[in-house]
Amino acid sequence: MPTPSSGTAPASRLEVAADLLSLLNDTTTEPRADAQLEALTLAVAADLPVLLWGEPGIGKTAALEQLAVALDLPLTTVIASVHEPSDFSGLPVVGDDPAAQGVPMAPPDWAVRLARAGRGLLFLDELSTAPPAVQAALLRLVLERRVGALRLPPGVRIVAAANPRSSAADGWELSAPLANRFVHLRWAHDHEVVVRGLGGTWPRASLPLLDPDRLPEAVRFARRAVCELLAARPALVHQLPKDEARMGGPWPSPRSWEMALRLTAFATAADTSKDVLSMLVRGTVGDGPGLELLANMDRMDLPDPETLLADPATADLPERGDLRQAVLDGVVEAVRRRPERARWEAAWVLLVRALETGPPDLVVVPASTLAALRRADWDVPASIEKLTGVVSLGGRADRAAARITAATAATGPKW
């Protein structure tokens, strides 16, 4: 028995199908806290190339399409693996007199369209499927925004996406020079975001709100944070990974430290969360150096050791254990640099205060180090008696641990 619509023309059926697709595509957005989306928009605002890493189907492309709409930027998608190196380095065009005029390198049509528009979002998709020759051609595009003889305008932002080599079709590891030009963000799905998005409401992408009054302060803070760390840890300035897989991720170099500095300034001016800043700096210089930079930022707000030594009895020590440890170590280091009896005795008063207001184990190492700085003509202060039990207990624990280690080495581990 024929249905009522059996006589409907195929074109009409397609129109009905189009109406249904339109209803399915009719979604909205809402303001919603999303750390990875906030990190992406902040890096885009800082005009740094971003590389999203994630498994296939995780929503990287959809996030970029939504970002382009939210920022009102025309989206240009280029799949690097299906292009030749000349598509990025430029196609040679021979003129009437090559000897006099040279041979200019003509840009592809997508680059010309971006240049004409003056603004846009260039999306380099499936980057991990690009062979080494294409990756080499992308170096100038990503860093200098040059495609052949054409320079892309400042209003163009670059975002790329890649799958891990294990899940990429004919995947390649990223070359170290190309990887070092990106801010690497790990893209993962949020269950609640996916469920609410499939229901028709996705998070809204928006550029960070920078406080104009905080811009100079943000720059000073970022410069101090990075420069203090690299002055104390010069080995972190440049560390090319020896493992090929790690070369394709974030690693520290003067270039990536400059990127980390810029992102720190933007994050400070936007008053972003520590989680977002952590994603950005670790995605620029790597996990280890990035975490050291974050720890250094925490220490920057710590009291000056000289101020504490000047009035140890009323010192206000941090509650957090790692910050308190850093303060005590800094005080002992200040005494070591300028060993004077009054300063040495003030440090003991400070250690007693730390013992009375916090965990005793944080005092063990600073007290032992401070005791070793004593000069022969310096009398032992009376306050040190309160610390004697802590230091001796720490020494006994160290000796016991050494005996256990020696016994284990002699007999072998027991499984």
Going from N- to C-terminal start, the domains of the chain cover 31-91+105-203, 212-300, 305-409
Q: What share of the chain is helix, strand, coil (3-state, %, to 5)?
A: 60, 10, 30
What beta strand segments (E) does 54-169 contain? 75-79, 91-92, 105-106, 119-125, 146-147, 150-151, 155-162
Which two tokens mark 344?
């040495």
323 within 8 A of 303, measured Cβ to Cβ: no
Long-range contacts of 24-29 (CB under 8 A, 24+ apart): 26/200, 27/197, 27/200, 27/201, 27/202, 28/200, 28/201, 28/202, 29/66, 29/70, 29/201, 29/202, 29/203, 29/204, 29/205
- Does the pLDDT value for residue 327 go beyond 80? yes
Angle formed at CA 39 by CA 37 and CA 40, multiple of 5 degrees: 65
Contacts 24+ apart (CB under 8 A), 357-365: 357/317, 358/317, 358/319, 358/321, 358/324, 359/321, 360/390, 361/390, 361/394, 362/321, 362/324, 362/325, 362/328, 363/328, 363/387, 363/390, 364/390, 364/391, 364/393, 364/394, 365/329, 365/394
The amino acid occupying position 143 is L
- With bands split at pLDDT 50, 70 and 90, how would you rate the model's confidence at 201? confident
CA atoms lying within 13 Å on the CB side of residue 137: 21
pLDDT at 269 over 50: yes
| pLDDT one-digit tens code per residue, 83-137 | 888 888 877 776 655 655 566 778 888 999 999 999 999 999 989 888 889 999 8
Q: Check whether 182 has a pLDDT greater than 90.
A: yes
DSSP, collapsed to helix, strand or coil, labels residue 9 as: coil
Q: Which of 26-40, 165-179, 306-320, 393-407 has the lowest mean pLDDT?
A: 393-407
pLDDT at 400: 39
Sequence-ordered list of residues with C-beta below 8 angstroms from that of 62, at least 6 positions apart, any chain: none
> pLDDT tens, 382-409?
777 777 666 554 344 344 344 434 554 5
Ramachandran angles phi, psi of 326, nearest 5°: -65, -40
Side-chain-side CA neighbours of 337 within 13 Å: the count stands at 8
Question: Stretch 7-21: mean pLDDT, rounded?
Answer: 84
Quick one: tokens of 246? 């790690």
Asked if 179 and 250 count as a contact pair (C-beta separation under 8 A), the reply is yes
Q: Residue 270 corresponds to which tokens in the numbers above?
A: 């936007």
Give how far Cα 276 sits from Cα of 37, 58, 171, 187, 292, Å.
Answer: 9, 20, 29, 13, 16
Model confidence at 323, pLDDT cuts 50, 70, 90, reads confident
Mean pLDDT, the chain, as a whole number? Answer: 84
Chain mean position to CA 382: 49
State the pLDDT at residue 188. 85
Q: How many CA atoms lie within 13 A of 258 on its CB side?
A: 9
CATH superfamily of 31-91+105-203: P-loop containing nucleotide triphosphate hydrolases (3.40.50.300)
The SS3 call for residue 268 is helix
pLDDT cut 70: percent of the chain above it: 87
pLDDT at position 142 over 60: yes
Q: What is the DSSP annotation of 311-370? A: SGGG----SSHHHHHHHHHHHHHHHHHS--HHHHHHHHHHHHHHHHHS-THHHHHHHHHH
CB neighbour list of residue 319: distance below 8 Å, 6 or more residues apart:
358
User: Across the chain, how many H-helices and E-strands are there?
Assistant: 19, 11
- Of 292, 187, 279, 194, the C-alpha closest to 239 is 292
Indicate the SS3 state at residue 155: strand
In tens, the pLDDT along 49-61 reads: 999 998 888 888 8
Q: Which residues lie closer than 8 Å to 385 by C-beta, 6 or more apart?
A: none
